[in-house]
Amino acid sequence: MTKKLQDLFKEELNVINIGLESFAENLKDEGYNAVQVDWKPAAGGDKEMAGLLDDIENISDRIAAANEKAVEKIQKSEPIVIDVQTAKDALPDFSDKMILHAAPPEKWEDMSGPMQGAAIGACIYEGWAENEKEARKMLDDGQVTFDAAHHHNAVGPMTGIVSPSMPVWVIENKTYGNKAFTTLNEGLGKVLRFGANGPDVIKKLKWMEKSLAPALREALSKTDGINLKNITSQALHMGDEVHNRNKAATALFIREITPFLLETDHSNKEIKEIIKFMAGNEHFYLNLSMPASKATMDAAHGIEYSTVLTAMARNGVRFGIRISGLGDEWFVGEAQIVDGLYFPGYTEEDACPDLGDSTISETAAVGGFAMAAAPAIVGFVGGTVADSIRFTKDMYEITVDENDNFTIPPLNFRGTPTGIDLLKIIETGILPAINTGIAHKEPGIGQIGAGLVDPPEECFKSAIRAFAQKYIK
Amino acid sequence: MAKKALVKEGTYFDSVSLMSISKDIKAMDGINEATIVMGTDANKEILKTANLLLPEAETAKPNDLVIVIDGKEEVLDKTIDETNQMLADKKASSDEEKEYNPGSLDGALDLQPDSNLVIISVPGEYAAREAKKALKRGLHVMLFSDNVPVEDEIELKKMAVEKNLLLMGPDCGTAIVNGAPLAFANVVSRGPVGIVAASGTGAQAVSSLVDRQGVGLTQVIGTGGRDLKSKVKGIEMIKDMKALDNDEETEIIVLVSKPPAKEVSKKIMDEVKKLKKPVIVNFLGGDPAVVKGTDAIWADTLEDAALKAAAFIKGEDEVSSASLKDEEIAEIAEEETKKMASPQKYLRGLYTGGTLCSEAVILLTEENGDIYSNTPLKDDFALKEDLKSIKNTVIDLGEDEFTKGKPHPMIEPSLRNERMAEEAEDEEVAVILLDVVLGYGSHMDPAGEAAKAIKKAKTKAADRGAYLSVIASVCGTEKDPQNLHVQEERLREVGAKVLPTNVQAVRVVNKILSDLN
């Protein structure tokens, strides 16, 4: 039965106040409920955007239904790590002499310093080149094909470089059957993912290929797969947000895998070395959390009319997003410099613009969106626990739902903000919260800090234009 | 440049806090590099690479805090002290969570899912969009914003009719819904009188007076000033009076407006005929004949509307009891007039409430002929561009020509105080007439502010051997945050004559003006 106007007169009055704050204060003084809105003009006063939003509003019911479907897939996804395989065997459409990198797709000559450095390292690692000079020449000559890892169901932190011989985690989305892949995390310091390519780096990668990967593979074969959704859920209650803090999740993973490692045919010495390697790298789990997010978000991709973001990724030059209802196109803008805290001896001038596929975390309701769960790293978001809570609360305004599995203790176990809605970003002007590591702009130096970064508004604006063009007649 | 190191044994801080403090120190004048780390081997290695591993730091243990500053010699000690202070502050800092204000309507709905009404007071060009969003989500709207295009108003109001929702406004300054004072509104008791008003101070005046008669109100619904104009056709008023007619608590409905467009007036009265409940119509300055053929009761003034509504509820026939008798009015007038000097003959009315001002202009014109104003009854009596008073003048200081770039005089009374000082310079001025509007939204001590200006104005007149009469009325209730009684006293203390209503105040002024002529 539809409500009649006079029904209001029997209800308790609960007011939302948009504008002059005193109106809300007055109501509270008189004992009424009032919520004040910190109002900004829609789309920051951008008339074109506000106009598009108004047009799109006409199909809001279909969009809402599509977004509900997308979020249902996110909620129901069950990413499990089942295997470690060689990239060329595991990834679809991965040919020889191909190197994958953090999205969006970029030409060799336009790549950021660290990404070029890592690509060079991959050429040496693969044995395609003896040294940097040779590698650079073959890359300049176009002998290597580049593509975004995302196009092969893979994601990678920072430069995100994947070459054919590298071992990758195989993650299966148990609910929907799709798979996702990520290389194994090398640790901090001079590492390929930050563009380092010296002999030590290659040596470590070879050890990972020859020793670490087979052992993990064998260990995993003795399991029914390890449920990453469960580990992430637990880690969120232990101070991780599994993007910039993976301490707890790494420890939980080691706890799961160790008994199976001990069951393998590998020597005690080898196993000790492997456990020490995992334990000495508090971001070891990042390379599991990322493909878990990727497997989740791929399931939510390709739903007609959905405005949910299914990927955000940066390659050090450009920042790109994908929208569930807009196919495989990347909508891009310029990658921004991270506003953050720097390790001793480094400043913003040394920083490479925002880099890596790791923002898949935020699209999958963890990372910056779960900031309130990770008080230990609040320094990156302004310094106080209150800041981290505000950070997460803001994200509820640009998401469709709250997560059923990932919950935040300081918010009374409220689910993390889930399913970033392109329309809400444009409407509110609130950009997705991303906390991320900072790479040095020169190859090979590695991580020099961490902090916050805003995605460029432009990528959301071009996505809205494309959406209107596709769906509004 | 020089370097200095300090090791604090057994002092632990997390690395993120330390990086944050390092960043602040590094930003200080004369500092080249500042590193604060725990003395782990890895950190000492970093210090070494950066050429900052001073001898005292070399022996630091993992649970020792190491501070190394590289900068101008003369600032090093001071900087070390400041670093210590920042570390101490960090330990002590406890951050209480501030109240979270969402950034959008949907965010607010998440926070308060059972919200049912939205007040919108954002700039006019954005207001319609917000109102539309609210209606779509099934929320009642009070649109306080002005400068909303009339086409948008019509669209919004039609949408609200379809959805059975309130769309009060645009430019709706006053409403009381379920007892809650919205925007500019007085605190009144709940009771059986329902008001639908196209004017803000009109609604405030009627609701306050009903309350002061010991009768309460169900709802005071504002429609916005344009609702009864020919373009909008009274969409909102018609819908709202029907809602009150169907509301079990409401026993009588009061309609308050300036005279509607002719065809709208007919439409409204046709609808009034269909209502089950008694209706009092106050179309200020309009033709009482509009109620002909209906059961509606005509009210000449805001006061009349309030008293008739209260009398109906109380079952009284006589409504004049609240009005002063002619003799009482004459007595007050005479008391004032006899103190005046010979050149004094004119009135200056200085209003903050628009409808109260209109009411005054109408009643003064009836008795004493034409009144100059910025909102005159006839164009011939409009003030000139300089807005200077001419002969008998009554002005509405809340109109755009006065408020451009300034707060409304109900919020910030200085605008009227300045004008009063000007008027007091004019030796032909005999009487100042003013309103004081209380309630939420208004200044917290409007009478007190007015009293300051009254005192000065009276002194100025006295200094030249004249007597400046000040006649005032206060619109509000005892329950208002400013308190009616307290406010009236403020005015009396400085020698103003305070009448219970605007109508009574105007009667006194009319008598003074007649006596002076």
Query: Nearest-CA neighbor of B349 among B391, B302, B377?
Result: B391
Please give the average per-residue pLDDT across B333-352, as a whole number.
96
Predicted local distance difference test score (pLDDT) of residue B404: 76
Dump pLDDT digits (tens) for B175-221. 999 999 999 999 999 999 999 999 999 999 999 999 999 999 999 99
Give A 348-387 residues with CB within 8 A of chain B: 376-380, 383-387
Question: How many Å from the N-terminal Cα to the C-terminal Cα in chain B?
Answer: 90
pLDDT category at B376 given cuts 50, 70, 90 is: very high
The answer, yes or no, to whether residue B100 has pLDDT greater than 90, is no
pLDDT at B125: 85
State if pTM tops 0.90: no
Residue A48 confidence (pLDDT): 92
Q: Nearest C-alpha of chain B: how many angstroms from A157?
A: 21
Q: What are the start-end ranges of the H helices in B346-469?
A: 354-368, 400-403, 414-425, 446-463
The rounded percent of chain B whose pLDDT value lies above 70 is 97
Give residue A339's pLDDT.
Answer: 86
- Report CB contact under 8 Å: A15, B19: no
Instruction: Assess whether the region B105-322 and the region B326-516 belong to the same CATH fold.
Output: yes
Report how many Cβ contacts below 8 Å link chain A to chain B: 203
Q: What is chain A's mean pLDDT, rounded?
A: 94
Rounded-to-integer distance, Cα A322 and Cα B28, Å? 43
pLDDT tens-place string over residues A206-236: 999 999 999 999 999 999 999 999 999 999 9
CATH number for the domain whose boundaries are B105-322: 3.40.50.261
Q: Please report, for residues A99, A164, B471, the alpha-carbon distance to residue A145 in angstroms, rounded to integers and kept in the order given.
A: 6, 12, 90
Alpha carbons A407 and B53: distance in angstroms, whole number: 43
What average pLDDT score do residues A268-287 get? 96
Say whether B119 and A8 touch across the interface (CB within 8 A): no
CA distance A37 to chain B (A): 5
Confidence of residue A44 (pLDDT cuts 50, 70, 90): confident
The neighbour count for residue A207, using CB atoms within 10 Å, is 15
Structural contact between residues B134 and B168, judged by C-beta atoms closer than 8 angstroms: no
CA distance B215 to B204: 15
**Number of neighbours of residue B151 by Cβ within 10 angstroms:** 10
Which superfamily, per CATH, for B326-516? Succinyl-CoA synthetase domains (3.40.50.261)
For residue B95, the model assigns a pLDDT of 41
Provide, as residue numbers in chain B, all residues whose Cβ is less than 8 Å from the Cβ of A397.
102-104, 106-107, 110
Domain B2-92 in CATH 3.30.470.20: no
Instruction: Compute how many other C-beta atoms are within 10 angstroms of the C-beta atom of residue A256.
Output: 17
Does B239 sit within 8 Å of A19, measured CB to CB? no
Which residue of chain A has the CA closest to B479? A30
| Weakest mean pLDDT among A182-191, A312-321, A360-369 | A182-191
Which residue, among B81, B68, B79, has the nearest Cα to B38 in the 3D structure?
B68
| Helix or strand run (H / E) with residue A363 | helix A360-363
pLDDT tens-digit map of A370-395: 999 998 888 766 678 888 888 899 99
pLDDT > 90: percent of chain A: 83
Mean pLDDT of chain B: 92
- Give me the pLDDT at residue B323, please: 80
Supply the DSSP symbol for B290.
G
pLDDT band at residue A42 using 50, 70 and 90 as cut-offs: confident
- With cut-offs at 50, 70 and 90, classify the pLDDT of residue B97: very low
CB contact under 8 A, B180 and A424: no
Q: Which residue of A has its CA nearest to B167?
A: A5
pLDDT tens profile A122-154? 999 999 999 999 999 999 999 999 999 999 999
State pLDDT tens for residues B444-459: 999 999 999 999 999 9
CB contact under 8 A, A18 and B33: no
* Residue B94: band (very low, low, confident or very high) from pLDDT cuts 50, 70, 90: very low
Nearest CA in chain A to B173: A23
Taking the CA of residue B313 and the nearest CA in chain A, the distance in Å comes to: 20
Instruction: Report yes or no: B234 and B281 within 8 Å, Cβ to Cβ.
Output: no
Average pLDDT rounded to a whole number, residues A178-194: 93
pLDDT at residue number A343:
86
What is the model's pLDDT at position A193?
94
Q: Could you report the per-residue pLDDT of A88-112, keeping only the tens digit for each?
A: 999 999 988 999 999 999 999 999 9
Nearest Cα to B228, choosing from B206, B200, B197, B205? Answer: B197
Better pLDDT: B484 or A39: B484
Q: What is the CA radius of gyration of chain B?
A: 32
Whether A432 has a pLDDT exceeding 90, the answer reads yes
Confidence of residue A271 (pLDDT cuts 50, 70, 90): very high
φ/ψ of B480, rounded to 5, equals: -60, 150
Q: Give A211's DSSP letter.
A: I
Cis check: omega of the bond before B55, within 30 degrees of 0? no
Domains of chain A (ranges, CATH numbers):
1-39 (no CATH), 60-74+300-471 (3.90.1700.10), 81-290 (3.90.1710.10)
Count of C-beta atoms within a 10 Å radius of residue B48: 12
pLDDT of residue B87: 82
What are the sequence ranges of the domains in chain B? 2-92, 105-322, 326-516
